[in-house]
Structure 1
């Protein structure tokens, strides 16, 4: 016999599960077995990205690697100046061109007034400001790391799914035509993250 005691404020659950069947401490709480079944049924499926948007998704992967490098560098005690030098290179070489393509060819699928597009453009402006203004360097790098990571996750999990849903063949063709994927070449002059 397998017995589990379970309590979760997040999922409003309390009780004991014996071999997958529940005995509950509070009868007003949802049945734990039903909640667990429901959770397993609503498990998110992997995102099927349009072939035309995959190159932009690969660029998002490199942006997430930048976030990891910043975080790793700060955790290792690397000087913020070294990290910022690399981050600025990445920003100029990869992020700015990426933002430009998204704003010219991807976001128009939904239109400038769409709330998701407004959020994404606002994120772009905030990131540009973070990269180009002065301030406490270590704090700024932490903010860049968090903001960029949240932005990429939003675009990948939410915005791009919406774009895929509503894009016309002509719009997808424009994205494919004007976004030329290049092989990513990292700046290994000072690999502070290793």
Structure 2
């Protein structure tokens, strides 16, 4: 079991987003275990992609990753995973297979960012960068309320 990571308060909004992303992975897995139609799950993941992940990826890429530099190997990994996830979320065919890939990659990606990338960022961020981070995270849309709670 991993010890809780002491997250700088400026990065905590992104970590909360990550919590919701991990819940998305769990909901996909749970939906499959309950025999839910993949198209029903995809309806939720499409909404989550548009309202939660696109803004999250955007703020990471614009404000967090430049702290380490876009040439940093960890940033390059995160950017590559963002591209892979974008392609999966936007794929319209092979729904079951695609959802399974999203569930796995999103889970692994979030754990990498939380356990490795964010630790590196908070170690080198300057006071000015921290101040900027504190002012930019604005996506607080509720993602726990969904009319079709297929995972229950």
Give the TM-score normalised by structure 2. Answer: 0.95
Partner of 2:142: 184
- Does the residue aligned with 2:93 lie in a helix, a strand or coil? coil
User: Shift of the alpha carbon at 1:179?
Assistant: 1.1
**1:157 and 2:115 matched:** yes
Query: Between Structure 1 and Structure 2, how many residues are aligned?
Result: 152
Unmatched tracts of structure 1, length 5 or more: 1-42
Which structure has the bigger radius of gyration?
A: 1
Return the alpha-carbon distance in structure 1 between the equivalents of residues 89 and 45 of structure 2.
8
Partner of 1:105: 63
Structure with greater strand share of residues: 1
Matches within 5 A, 1:71-90: 71-90=29-48
**1:62 and 2:20 matched:** yes
Structure with greater helix share of residues: 2
Partner of 1:125: 83
RMSD: 1.4
Q: Which segment is superposed worse, 172-181 or 93-102?
A: 172-181
Partner of 1:96: 54
Q: Which has the higher contact order (CA 8 A, sep 6+)?
A: 2
CA contact (8 A) 1:84 1:141 kept: yes
User: Shift of the alpha carbon at 1:94?
Assistant: 0.2
User: Shift of the alpha carbon at 1:45?
Assistant: 4.6
Partner of 1:8: none
Partner of 2:10: 52
**In 2 relative to 1, CA 185–142 (structure 1 residues): closer, same or farther, beyond 3 Å?**
closer
- Does the residue aligned with 1:52 lie in a helix, a strand or coil? helix
**In 2 relative to 1, CA 145–45 (structure 1 residues): closer, same or farther, beyond 3 Å?**
closer
Give the TM-score normalised by structure 1. Answer: 0.75
Partner of 1:175: 133
CA contact (8 A) 1:72 1:193 kept: yes
